[in-house]
């Protein structure tokens, strides 16, 4: 998914302006110092602002060969669009559901769906999902002692 440089330029200019105003108005100064917590963020914002302006000019200069937005092949292919949404969706799903469901059910679900979606046969997808979940869980929970959540499986935790 490609955008004209000017699109990024505008976003960056807006972001930089907001950032500078926020830093300048809400960060306190150090007593007796000219250089407080706001100094660097404002400097970075200033730099970003200039870059944004430069990108706007570059984008306008190249407007003939670079349209405002150029969608990749995959955006018009529903199959790939669903893949993209599924990968992001599974991350969001993990964040929202892992505490309640527990690591093992969440991981099984995500892995099975994604593997099947990417082209594994259903049985292979389930088998691989079980194997991978088991290996990751053992490695991180038991060997590295990372407290992965048990969730629903708490009563049968091993």
Partner 1 sequence: MEHWLQAYELVVNPYVLLVMVCSAAFGLFVGAVPGLTATMATALLVPVTFFMDPIPAIAAIATCTAMAIFAGDIPGALLRIPGTPASAAYVDEAYTLTRKGQAERALGTGLICSMLGGLFGSIVLATSAPALAEFALNFSTFEFFWLACLGLTCAVIISSESRVKGLVSLFLGLFISTIGMGVVTGFPRFTFGITDLMGGVSFIPAMIGMFAISEVLRFAVRTKPMPKVEQKPFGSLFAGIKGTLGRYKFNLLRGSIIGTVIGILPGAGGDIAAWVSYATSKRFSKEPEKFGTGHVEGLVDCSSANNAALGGTWIPAMVFGIPGDSITAIVIGVLYMKDMNPGPTVFIERPHMVNAVFLAFFLANLMMLPLGFLAIRLSRQILRIAHAALMPTILMFCIVGSFAINNTTFDVIIMLVLGVFAYIMEENGFPIAPVILGIVLGVMVEDNFITSMIKSEGSFLAFFERPIAGVLGVATFLVWTVPLATTLRRRMKASRSTT
Count of residues that bind partner 1 according to CB under 8 A: 68
CA distance 94 to 106: 6
Residue 3 φ/ψ, nearest 5 degrees:
-120, 155
Q: Report, in Å, the least distance between residue 155 CB and partner 1.
A: 22
Please say whether the beta carbons of 78 and 100 come within 8 A: no
> Given candidates 2, 14, 63, 142, which one binds partner 1 under the rule CB under 8 A?
2
End-to-end CA distance of the chain: 46
For residue 12, give both structure tokens: 């960056």
Q: Which residues pair with 69 in a beta bridge?
A: 3
The footprint of partner 1 (CB under 8 A) covers: 1-3, 8, 12, 19, 22-23, 27-28, 30, 33-37, 39-41, 44-45, 47-48, 51-52, 54-55, 58, 72-74, 77, 80-81, 83-84, 86-88, 90-92, 94-95, 98-99, 103, 107, 110-111, 114-115, 118-120, 124-125, 128-129, 132-133, 136, 140, 144-148
């Amino acid at each position: 998914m490609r955008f004209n440089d000017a699109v990024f330029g505008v976003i960056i200019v807006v972001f930089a302006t907001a950032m500078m105003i926020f830093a300048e108005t809400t960060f306190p100064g150090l007593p007796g110092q000219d250089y407080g917590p706001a100094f660097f963020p404002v400097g970075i914002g200033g730099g970003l602002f200039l870059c944004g302006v430069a990108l706007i000019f570059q984008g306008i200069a190249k407007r003939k060969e670079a349209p405002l937005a150029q969608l990749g092949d995959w955006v018009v292919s529903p199959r790939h669009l669903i893949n993209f949404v599924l990968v992001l969706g599974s991350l969001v799903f993990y964040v929202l559901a892992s505490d309640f469901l527990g690591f093992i059910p969440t991981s099984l679900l995500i892995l099975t769906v994604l593997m099947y979606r990417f082209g594994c046969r259903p049985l292979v997808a389930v088998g691989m999902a079980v194997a991978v979940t088991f290996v990751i869980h053992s490695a991180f929970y038991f060997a590295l002692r990372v407290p992965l959540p048990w969730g629903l499986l708490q009563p049968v935790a091993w």
